[in-house]
Amino acid sequence: MISSLCSTGTLSSLSLRVTDNPSPSLSIVFVPHLRFSPFAAAAAAPLSVSFHRHSRLAGRLGPAEDVSASDDATSKTDEEVPQDPRLADWETARSFKEAGSIFEGTIVGFNNGGLLIRFYSLLGFLPYTLLNQARFCKDSPRPILQRAKDLVGSTVSVKVVEANEERRSLILSEKDANWSRYSSKIEVGSVIDGRVDSIEDYGAFVSLLFPDGEYHLTGLVHISEASWDIVQDARNLFAEGDDVKVKVINIDREKQRISLSIKQLEKDPLYNTLDKVITEEGEVSTGLDANMEPLPGLDSICQELLKEQGITDVQLGRQGLEKRAVSQDLELWLSSAPVKDKQFTLLARAGRQVQEVYLTTTLEQDDIKKAVQRILERVP
């Protein structure tokens, strides 16, 4: 019979009493020299008590296997400890990036560099440079931070462009998401309504209006495509907020760039005929007029024309006077009539004077225009 276990320096409050048929098969194992306290008990290894099979004790305490199964239960509990959800969300972010999937996120804040987007348990960053500027077309010009403040709480469609868990860098792009959704809805040759979003020295950025009434993509009208006239500064033609009609002339799907043109919506004024440029009061003579001086520099241009491959003969034709001077400098204009039987007509103009120049050529209109442009660069 065991009445108690109690001694100084061991367990001071543990007692175990067995009053019925003590058995030598009963063993008690304890950790000696352990003072009992709530802090010590929490830190110490649990006291292990094991019993060999005994009929009455077995019925009261259960099989020995059940009691000793506490170690297995402890290990199972360790396995079931939930992992940090951010680990799984970083994996999700990488999957979104690899698949090019679009994520609908909520804007929860902003700073000087961009917007903060909730991506599950993570916080993504949408730089202002990757924000779709077309969304501001209907808004009056304001500082970007004021616009960002108004966006907090709204939802935005984005793509993951960087998911670096080590650097805690999750970069998102609205431009990429919009390109995936809307670029397939336009094609080269399309004529679209747009609004001037911003103006640079090299041209104007125009946001494109889609059938849903929203501006989703932005293209560039290069200064060379703004007008048939020579334009030194695009700001002389456009102002932010101007409504314009543009023609899509190129789509670079790899670089996500759209090239637009305004001048191609009109016929090139350089393509003209003598009958159209001569006013009603103007005079038209056949051949060379003895009283009309040759256009200065025209002989040199004719010689340069013969040096161009595909042009075999150059002859001067009719002359005339316009009602007013177009330019004091010598200019070459192209006829609107197509090449026929290898014959094509140029118009030489300076001041009020205009004269036809007949070419014998195997070139088409566009190639003739390129040849003329090369000649004008060579001739001072």
* Closest-CA residue to 271 (of 375, 192, 342, 365): 365
What string of pLDDT tens digits covers the 380 residues of the chain?
434 333 344 333 333 344 444 444 443 444 344 333 333 333 333 333 333 333 333 333 344 344 334 445 445 455 555 667 788 999 999 999 999 999 999 999 999 999 999 999 999 999 999 998 887 877 777 888 988 999 999 999 999 999 999 999 999 999 999 999 999 999 999 999 999 988 998 899 999 999 998 888 999 999 889 887 777 888 888 888 899 999 999 999 989 999 999 988 987 665 655 555 554 444 554 444 545 667 888 888 888 999 999 999 999 888 877 766 656 778 888 877 788 889 998 888 888 788 888 999 999 888 888 888 888 888 77
- Rounded Cα distance between 285 and 333, Å, is 19
A 10 A CB-CB count for 215 gives 23
Residue for token pair 């205009």: 354
* Closest-CA residue to 218 (of 274, 179, 254, 184): 179
SS3 (DSSP) at 51:
strand
- Rounded Cα distance between 378 and 373, Å, is 9
Tokens representing residue 242 in the block: 């101007």
* Closest-CA residue to 354 (of 281, 283, 271, 269): 283
CA dihedral 41, 44, 45, 46 (to 10 degrees): -10
Tokens representing residue 97 in the block: 């990036």
- pTM (global) more than 0.75: no
**Which residues are registered as beta bridge partners of 201?**
none
Backbone angles phi, psi at 149, to 5 degrees: -60, -40
